[in-house]
Structure 1
Amino acid sequence: MTQQNRNRVEWKTGVWLNPPQSFREEGQMLKVAPEKGRDFWKKTLYGFEFEDGPALLTSWDRNTAVEVTFQLGSFTDLYDQAGLLLYHGPGQWIKTGIEINDGIPQLATVVTDGYSDWSLAAVPEWIGEEVTLRASIMKDAVIIRARSNQHPWRTIRVARFPYETGNHAGPFTCSPTRDGFEVTFTRWEFTAPDEDLHIDPPVEG
């Protein structure tokens, strides 16, 4: 796919669902520092409920795929996390990205419909790289994929996401356990949806 087939989202066009502690644009990058203690989680296992993490969202047409790219250099502590939030409404959302757990980066996805679940896949070989998360809807499901600048696409989750309208998507970050975490996002785009579950989408550029 050529670059002109992609629609880059300007950071300033997004609307914050819960503003972060701070954010600033540097060239084409967006640097975001989340406030300690905020997160997205509903009930399961822990009993607590959080829906106060910062996410920069815009309307998401289910006939497009959405991609968010960010750098991993600042990820060091337990639960440092960033990626892509797919948001239909309170208690109906999916967050997917990289999260530090057991001392290494993990591809983490939390699917929530009243209650949350959590899946993890370790990617220690991605330390310090630039990572892209991608979501594309097929029928009543969303296909979630991830890659780094040195590693190809991996399909990490197929999850129910049946909402026809009222969907929003964009970058998110949380820092449940520490102050001083800052994430550099480098790209936010809408592009053509996946053609098939078993066919990798193209890479931008």
Structure 2
Amino acid sequence: MTDDGLRGQPWSAGRWTSPPAAVVEDGPDLLVTAVQGSDAWRHTSYGFVHDDAHALLAPLPRPGAVEVAFDLAWDGRFDQAGLMLRADEETWLKAGVEFSDGTPQVGAVVTLGRSDWSVAPVPDWAGRRVTVRASRDGDAVTVRARVDDEPFRLLRLCPFPADLPVAAGPYCCAPTRAGLVVRFRRWATGPADPALH
């Protein structure tokens, strides 16, 4: 148990939604190589459905929180990593960092039948350790992120069906290229955040 109330999860605690190209445990870290063309999106604007992102998921209690840390060490178009919280193929969210429009962007995609996408550029996060946290309580999920030991910033407060069981954990995907390798540093779960602010 850590001092933030979260308990580290072994990588073996999860099951892959779609198998990555390669998975290697390197000491306490997990190195995941994404398959070219992997992604998670439903309909909005692009008109397609992709449901083959590499998410390593385990059941998350209600209420509860999940936190994932990884090194931001890539610059391929639409390369991404972070956490996923998933009830089914039409009800999920992913949050983390995606390389888009020439720079790292921190954000979230919330999918309730159709996907949406919110992002903000974080060019100074490149080459550093990112931590993403999702806290589920009642009918909502609160998403926060930070770099290194800086304070968490609020990314998103979104609706999410209260009655659906979910699984959560780290994810990555590489929509446009081969060769993305993500070093995941930590996966932890614990109690939901006590307050929004």
* Structures share fold, TM-score greater than 0.5: yes
Task: Specify whether residues 123 and 47 from structure 1 end up closer, same or farther in structure 2 by C-alpha distance, changes over 3 A only.
Answer: same
Alignment correspondent of 2:50: 50
Task: Specify whether residues 115 and 25 from structure 1 end up closer, same or farther in structure 2 by C-alpha distance, changes over 3 A only.
Answer: same
Letter in 2 for 1:81: Q
Shift, 1:139, TM fit? 2.2
Task: Verify the 8 A CA contact 1:129 1:150 in the aligned structure 2.
Answer: no
What SS does the aligned partner of 1:88 have?
Answer: strand
Q: Distance in 2 between matches of 1:27 and 1:9?
A: 14
What SS does the aligned partner of 1:178 have?
Answer: coil
Give identity over the alignment, percent: 44
Alignment correspondent of 1:6: 6
Task: Verify the 8 A CA contact 2:90 2:111 in the aligned structure 1.
Answer: yes
Q: Distance in 2 between matches of 1:32 and 1:109?
A: 21
Q: Distance in 1 between matches of 2:141 and 2:7?
A: 20
Q: Distance in 2 between matches of 1:150 and 1:3?
A: 14
Query: What's the C-alpha RMSD, in Å, of the aligned pairs?
Result: 1.4
What's the TM-score, normalizing by structure 1? 0.92
Alignment correspondent of 1:201: none
How do residues 139-150 of structure 1 correspond to structure 2 at under 5 angstroms?
Answer: 139-150=138-149
Shift, 1:5, TM fit? 3.6
- Runs (4 or more) in structure 1 with deviation over 4 Å come to none
Shift, 1:137, TM fit? 1.6
Unmatched segments (≥5 aa) in structure 2: none
Q: Distance in 1 between matches of 2:53 and 2:6?
A: 28
Shift, 1:70, TM fit? 0.3
What's the TM-score, normalizing by structure 2? 0.96
User: What is the aligned length?
Assistant: 197
Unmatched segments (≥5 aa) in structure 1: 199-205
Shift, 1:4, TM fit? 8.5
